[in-house]
Amino acid sequence: MIALQPKLEELGKVVESDVLVIGGGIGGWCCAISAKESGLINEVVLVEKSHAGRTGPSALVGGIFSIILPEDDPDAKLRAFAEGKDYLADQETLAEVVRLAPEVLKSLEKWGVKFMKRANGKYETIFQRGGNTILMEGGGIPMMDALTGYGRRIGIRSIDWTMITDLLVSEGNIVGAVGINCRTGEFLIFKSKTTVLATGGTIFKSRSSGHRNTTGDGWAMAYRAGAEMMGFHFSTSNVWGATSEVGPGNGLLLSEGARLLNNKMEEYVKNYPEIQRLKSPEWHSPLMAMEAKRGNAPPIWLDLRHFTEKQVDMIYRIIPYAAKKWEKLGFLKEKRFIKLCEYTPEGPNPGGGVFVTPEFASRNIRGLFACGEAVAKLQCGGGLNRAAISGVIAGWSAARTAADTGKIEVDAKAIVELRDSTMASLEREDGIDPENALVTLQEAIHPYPVHILRRENSMRKALDEVERIRGDVMPYLRAYDPHYLRLVHELRNMVLSAEMFLKSALEQKESRFGSLREDYPYTDNINWLKWLLLKEEPGTGTMKLWTENIPLEKYKFRPKREKFLHPFWARAEELGYWKRSDEVSNNGD
């Protein structure tokens, strides 16, 4: 007797669309709006595991938007991107980002986003992270309210409190996804001609405003679906309050003259004039780690007591929610900062993601697209502007592919297997609490020698622990209710993200910004102008890593083929803070 395939409606709630967008931040909404306004398709569905427009880092940003203006020199911007990533950047994809930046800025204003302007109509700018940026009126919350409101007015269907757990694969194509309602536990099936990941990255729920919901979901789903991934060795960490959850706005504060002091009350960045010039919070993480090696930290103190009333007024205008938080916590009183705040690096912030084409389509799987930090930073960069631009490109590309795609079929048997695995921890009567397991993961990957000033023995120890968590803890996690079921799947994704990060970081045996290795302190432009890629081996479930030479021959900007001590290590050695060991010397010339 032939077993009948169950109907999809019997397995869960079915939602159909032409384009499915996963993630409700700036990248997700720009993608959904772009797809809808393309005129090529009808139904766009945006799914967010929390509250669309009010979740993730997009809503809680520091009031600065690093856009490219029409009067900017595109080649100069592309050169800055290439040099900023130590020539590992994909200049072909980033050239598209640069080209479309002014057009996307106009679109954002059309959609209701407001930026600060002078009396002559020019944008208000401020120097931070090595370049001029414009200022947002009111920060990220009004920006996201504008995009969410506009998107819904033009007919985009948004579904909140629903976590997508896995992508649906049919004959090598992505045909949708499955997920759960985080409040009711209902299982949902999304059928779609194309799917876009706008899920952000992860810092493993470290202390950072707006990043609690970014747990590497898109990375993990794409990896499990067989997508090629790249750039996970690259990791830069912002800095935040160590014991008080303050911020956001670190870039703005540094631009306005914020001081970071070691435990001897020294402004240590002055010893690194090139880094001081950049006004970049991300560069303070390796500096803080170096101060800790020297015994000068912790604590590190953020000092804003010299800020004027005018500067404080600007904080209230650009990031009012951050100002109110400073006020509530007792640091800010009557428009004066009155005490120091302890600061520390956040956890690892891998820069990996889906390996995409210049159309922000997966390089090896049809029907899958990505934008923002779901894409490797070497291809897209980070921040609001790149998320918005890549979202617009991905939305248009996904709509065009969907318009050329006929009827899609979904395998009900595969749905049954995904449903059973998705709900397994909710049905378990006893097991391990996912929040306890998260602490174990954080303790493994947070030490400075693992993710900032890296050493092989520390990274291997961390990887051993991550693999132990995957094998001995993950199968026994218990979800008490639908909320905890979400936490289980978030942890599952973070453990996989940590494994991708550590295995990639161990593979790269040299130093560049975002991957500083104490045991391999040389930048090697002879042997290491390569991309580090990974994917799941079909049928085995093992992680395959390999390298590809960067196609520099077709890029505008190329480095010299030479090997040299990375400037960070060279300056540390010059100051007497660090000394090459015999082992390190043998890795040099």
Concatenated DSSP letters of 153-216: HTT-EEE-SEEEEEEEEETTEEEEEEEEETTT--EEEEEEEEEEE----B-TT-S-TT-TT-BS
- As beta bridge partners, residue 535 has 544
Domain extents for the chain? 239-345, 423-507, 517-538+546-586
CA distance to 357, 363, 382, 585, per residue, from 390 (Å): 11, 15, 10, 42
Does domain 423-507 match CATH 1.20.58.100? yes
pLDDT band at 551 (very low <50, low <70, confident <90, very high): very high
Segments in 208-319 forming alpha helices (H): 217-224, 250-255, 273-278, 284-293, 309-318
Chain mean pLDDT for the chain: 93
pLDDT at 97: 94
The model's pLDDT over 492-504, given as tens digits with 9 standing for 90+, comes to 999 999 999 999 9
Overall size of the chain counted in residues:
589
pLDDT at 558: 94
Cα Rg of the chain (Å, integer): 23
pLDDT at 3: 56
Nearest-angstrom CA–CA distance, 566 and 311: 36
The model's pLDDT over 69-118, given as tens digits with 9 standing for 90+, comes to 888 899 998 998 899 889 999 999 999 999 999 999 999 999 999 999 99
Please say whether the beta carbons of 56 and 200 come within 8 A: yes
Give mean pLDDT, residues 554-563. Answer: 95
- HSE at residue 318, side-chain half, CA atoms within 13 A, is 28
Please say whether the beta carbons of 317 and 311 come within 8 A: no
- For 130, phi then psi, to 5°, come to 85, 10
Q: Are strands 187-197 and 368-370 parallel, antiparallel or unpaired?
A: parallel
Here the tokens at position 336 are 């004066």
- As beta bridge partners, residue 546 has 533
CATH T-level fold of 239-345? Flavocytochrome C3; Chain A, domain 1 (3.90.700)
The model's pLDDT over 168-177, given as tens digits with 9 standing for 90+, comes to 999 889 999 9
Nearest-angstrom CA–CA distance, 89 and 357: 13
pLDDT band at 124 (very low <50, low <70, confident <90, very high): confident
Nearest-angstrom CA–CA distance, 178 and 158: 16
Residue 336: how many other CB atoms lie within 10 Å = 14
Q: In terms of pTM, does the model score above 0.75? A: yes
- HSE at residue 296, side-chain half, CA atoms within 13 A, is 17
Nearest-angstrom CA–CA distance, 350 and 507: 14
Here the tokens at position 21 are 């967008």
Please say whether the beta carbons of 22 and 199 come within 8 A: yes
Q: Which string of DSSP letters, residue by residue, matches 392-431?
A: HHHHHHHHHHHHT-------HHHHHHHHHHHHHHHH-SS-
Residue 1, pLDDT > 60, answer no
The model's pLDDT over 432-480, given as tens digits with 9 standing for 90+, comes to 999 999 999 999 999 999 999 999 999 999 999 999 999 999 999 999 9
Percent of the chain with pLDDT over 90: 80
The model's pLDDT over 255-295, given as tens digits with 9 standing for 90+, comes to 999 999 999 999 999 999 999 998 899 999 999 999 999 99
Here the tokens at position 346 are 């956040």
The answer to whether the 239-345 and 423-507 domains have the same CATH topology is no
